[in-house]
Structure 1
Amino acid sequence: MSLKNKLQNFFYLDDEEREVEAPKTSTRQQEEKTPVREQPKKMNSRRQTAPPREPSQPATVVSLQSAQKSSKVILVEPRVYAEAQDISEHLKNKRAVVVNLQRIDRDQGIRIVDFLSGTVYAIGGDIQRIGTDIFLCVPENVEVAGAISDFFEQ
């Protein structure tokens, strides 16, 4: 078989019908033999069809909500503890949040970090310190790679 034929067979480019013969067993069967016609399989280059399912198998539903939305990173500079709930809403909506706590009282900043740590734990995300009083909070669909050195002034 030539390379051209192999490529045609691989991509199903040959549009002609093929005749498939049954193996020879006896002369009488050979006389009664009728050719079996086989249609070549054609595949759509954009979409492949799935094989038919058994009636007992339920249809699988896949949510495309996360694929349709674009990823966002929210920058937040809270001034009061009450804004911690707004930050956690962003995390629950699968958005990464950078929290700058430099303009808030230290005690309230600690409380916000504690609240966000609980939120991040509940959604399976991650929280990392990326600067002096600056934290990165990400949900489970965001992966953080790399590290920033721990040379912080305190």
Structure 2
Amino acid sequence: MGVMNRVLNFLGLKEEDDTLADRDYEQDEPEEVETNPFEQRKIKSNVVSIHSQKNVKVVLNEPHNYDDTQEVADHLRNRRAVIVNLQRVRPEIATRIVDFLNGTIYALNGTVSKIGPQIYLFTPDSVEIQGTIKEIPVESHYD
């Protein structure tokens, strides 16, 4: 449609063809599909903006039995870092919990860091860990 026709239509001297009017005003807008930040990151690239994650949370968890491990795995799936204290759990249960969470974090491409005796930090791949903590010596009594 030319400029002259638009001016005539604006002044009301000429009526515009309905098919042309529909075509001019209809614009193909892409559908907005709701995706979580993890999926957006996969689609775009491997670079994540620090400002894209507004509410980064670290969850502290102290499971009392093996059944409590599912809650920790859910936090990891929701892209939250989790500190797990296993000091109050029997050693055989603690081993099972660590094994399960290691499998979960492996599937999510995350990392595991031991930060103390029976205390572990599980982080998704969007969290970078720098530095290491040396093994904490067992309490010794100085005479």
CA distance in 1, matches of 2:87, 2:36: 38
5+ residue gaps in structure 1? Answer: 1-57
SS in 2 for 1:149: coil
CA distance in 2, matches of 1:126, 1:68: 19
SS in 1 for 2:69: helix
**In the alignment, structure 1 residue 126 sits paired with structure 2 residue 111:** yes
Question: Which residue of the other structure, out of 128, 131, 134, is the alignment partner of 1:143?
Answer: 128
Q: Give the ranges of 4+ consecutive aligned residues of structure 1 lying more than 6 Å apart after TM superposition.
A: none
CA-based RMSD: 2.6
> Aligned runs of 1:67-146 on 2, under 5 Å?
67=52, 69-146=54-131
CA distance in 2, matches of 1:68, 1:145: 19
Structure whose CA Rg is larger = 1
SS in 2 for 1:129: strand
CA distance in 1, matches of 2:77, 2:120: 17
CA distance in 2, matches of 1:146, 1:62: 36
In structure 1, what residue type is equivalent to 2:110?
G
In structure 2, what residue type is equivalent to 1:139?
P
Moved more, 125-134 or 63-72: 63-72
Q: Is the 8 A contact 1:78 1:104 kept in 2?
A: yes
Query: Which residue of the partner structure matches residue 46 of structure 1?
Result: none
> How does the TM-score come out when normalised to structure 2?
0.60
SS in 2 for 1:98: strand
CA distance in 2, matches of 1:145, 1:63: 29
5+ residue gaps in structure 2? Answer: 1-29, 39-51
**Percent of residue pairs bearing the same amino acid type:** 44
**Count of aligned positions:** 97
Q: Is the 8 A contact 1:132 1:152 kept in 2?
A: no
